[in-house]
Structure 1
């Protein structure tokens, strides 16, 4: 079983609306569990709830849109997802979910989201954005080449195969382009093929685009809106991040993902806080 699938394993709770799981230290970035893992776990729970809902008769198995708020950082250990089916329709079914962890006997909410599920098995795109030109993965910079001190605080990188376009990776050696762009390739290190829930994780799997502005430090996600556009073809995912605005200690991060066939399969915008350790001019 893929390490990603192990991370997504959930046990039924006392009611159809609850699921239990555990976050592993293997998916940490710094002192917190990667937000994409938290979001994918919540979506997995809501998808399971929808699949057992008597009103759900159209087999809506793919997350199509999700809007998530991250209240507190998730830590390794047990968690509970509480979900609610809000509406079932012909094209989409919508529900809400919250991820909780017990902290000293108190249930602390980590993330709250509303998401709609549909069926993306047949999608005809009449117009879509063109994937960026990138060097082949073997000519890009691997996450394994990151400084040892960076890898020591990011066990998450041991789970993923990340290859950055050298043109947007200068920040890794203290020479950010100041253009606010990061591009590259992504897949799981054990080559587990992508699906629509994994795409939600992939939208938050790259290094923060703030790094390319010379802002090194913690960039917590405050709000995230993601759209899953179609089921991805097997193989590498091509990812492009960008930002145009940084003010008041916050910036937006726009992400787009194309599959190995060149199809746009996911896109998102998130509002991030910026807590820089240092700034490079």
Structure 2
């Protein structure tokens, strides 16, 4: 019987088959089948791939089930089809460090370092000057499925979740970007609540912030680091993404993820290539 039947789509698509090592070993190998539904432009979405790596780490160290940080270098684009994920524990402890790689056809696609722990054991102390993005009510925000057909063809992953953009940041949809280099949106999965592993995917779910600069198109990720700060509450997430510097054919993209309780639950930074004209 297929044990993934009845699971939410994200959980089904993150399924892995152990192919080397046993539970408790410091080195494990897993087979994956990367689904084309999570693709954008020329490859599988970097956030989905980060969540897949996180799932492999979680299976390797089940006593430390939650990502604290995961930093990945994207050596090459991953495409739909078979892949192999290899994990190697570097250090056991309250914070467990694991090296993880994804390959396709014998070619390395992603190399990453992960730190996992148990986020339910974290201190409740919070001291921050950050504030969640002020967004209009969900029903007043245009949904991602209303994006231009060419964008939906470029990024079929937008069919995997519901994203509603702040109208003040959605001018790019009609060819009128604000030029500020900022996107804000509501986010949720249609069939599951957010959890720490899913936040790895959410951190790269929004369109490239260059869309708001009038530079649409696929922006291949070079490096992506996500810090997970807390277990998110159920309900809609609020996302804010911005850039301050486009130079040399690259741009940085900073993302904040706030949960329905108004807590900053994840932060991410990536370096990506500027979309080609």
Q: Distance in 2 between matches of 1:206 and 1:249?
A: 20
Q: Distance in 2 between matches of 1:114 and 1:259?
A: 26
What is the 5 A alignment of 1:1-281?
1-16=7-22, 17-51=28-62, 59-89=63-93, 91-102=94-105, 107-121=106-120, 122-128=122-128, 129-190=130-191, 192-277=192-277
CA contact (8 A) 1:28 1:34 kept: yes
CA contact (8 A) 2:144 2:163 kept: yes
* Alignment deviations for residues 138-189 of structure 1 (CA, whole Å, 9 cap, x no partner): 1111011111222123221111101000001111111111111000111113
SS of the equivalent of 2:154 reads coil
How much does 1:29 deviate?
Answer: 1.1
Other-structure match for 1:54: none
Deviating above 3 A after TM superposition, structure 1's stretches of 4 or more consecutive aligned residues are none
Q: Distance in 2 between matches of 1:126 and 1:200?
A: 21
TM-score normalized by the length of structure 2: 0.93
Structure 1: which 5+ runs fail to align? 52-58
CA contact (8 A) 1:218 1:275 kept: yes
Q: Distance in 2 between matches of 1:79 and 1:203?
A: 22
The structure whose residues are more often strand, as a share, is 1
SS of the equivalent of 1:158 reads helix
SS of the equivalent of 2:233 reads coil
Q: Distance in 2 between matches of 1:151 and 1:125?
A: 41
How much does 1:202 deviate?
Answer: 0.4
* Alignment deviations for residues 178-218 of structure 1 (CA, whole Å, 9 cap, x no partner): 1110001111133x111101001100010010111111122
TM-score normalized by the length of structure 1: 0.91
Moved more, 152-161 or 76-85: 152-161
Q: Distance in 1 between matches of 2:20 and 2:12?
A: 22
Q: CA RMSD in A?
A: 1.1
